[in-house]
Amino acid sequence: MSQTTIILIRHGARHDYANMEMWKRQCERLGLEASDPPLSALGHAQARQAADALVSEDVAAILCSPYLRVIQTAQPLAHRCGLPLSVENGLAEFHHAPKCIPPPGKRVGCYPEVDDEYTPLHAVTDIAVSESDGKESVVEYFRRIRRLACELPSMYAGRTVVCYSHAASVALVAALTSSSLQEAGKFAPCGIWKLVRKSEGSTWEIQIRGDENTGHITANDPSTFPWGFADTRRGLDWHESQWQESGRLGPTAANEDGEKL
């Protein structure tokens, strides 16, 4: 079997981080979802540069998180490759609140590249959320990432799949390489992680690291910076404990009886 390649890309600079007070006022005035901001102008430029860096790859599919900033980051590569954007819930944000984010069919009017008929590896109903706030816990996020690490290699065996996501998805690198969150490190805006497996059952080789982006991105906004779990309020050690617990529990299982959102 030929090699399997997984390319993981973080979204570009966020509009809300660069315009905190204005975005807060707009969300309050217009009833917008604050956790689903668009890219800034710089973020759009970064997305185009990231696409330029990937045009030589033989891309078979483009998967992306359901969040707007990630769809916008993935759009330039979809244009260059002539491929649709498959919205994959497994790539959704840390502390994901599924009911707050529009489904793919609601994105098509502005982003016709979105394939509203794509069946995600991770259904919305597979995401376990708290009854109190509708958000996914940290350990459940990690279990979701572990499931994605199991399913992507078999689904795209012998091909190249590009996955657009968020900074916390650096955990996917840890899951594929059987490493710790500390070893996986950070994820830069529009950073590119490229992992290759030569044959089924062999180990994953990191060919490109995504903890910095200076090789293909010409400018960065300090408000959207390289991020790792050491940068969280609870710190790296606490997240490492949750990572280990997710390994003990195993990947998220499919939920066939859940109510669809």
pLDDT at 256: 56
Cα–Cα distance for residue pair 35/192, rounded to 1 Å: 23
Domain boundaries, given as residue ranges, for the chain: 4-249
**151 to 39, 57, 146: CA distances (angstroms):** 29, 21, 9
180-218 tens-digit pLDDT: 999 999 999 999 999 999 998 899 999 999 999 999 999
pLDDT lower than 50: segments of the chain:
258-261
How much is the pLDDT for 110?
97
Cβ count within 10 A of residue 27 = 16
Contact predicate 131/171, CB 8 Å: no
With left for phi above 0 and alpha for psi between -120 and 50, is residue 5 left, alpha or beta?
A: beta
pLDDT value for 2: 86
| Euclidean distance between CA atoms 175 and 173, whole angstroms | 5
Q: Which CATH number fits the domain 4-249, given the four candidates 3.40.50.410, 1.10.3470.10, 1.10.1660.10, 3.40.50.1240?
A: 3.40.50.1240
User: What is the dihedral angle through the alpha carbons of 148, 151, 154, 156, rounded to the nearest 10 degrees?
Assistant: -50
* Per-residue pLDDT at 254: 83
pLDDT at site 127 = 94
Q: Which of 36, 17, 3 is nearest to 225 (CA)?
A: 17
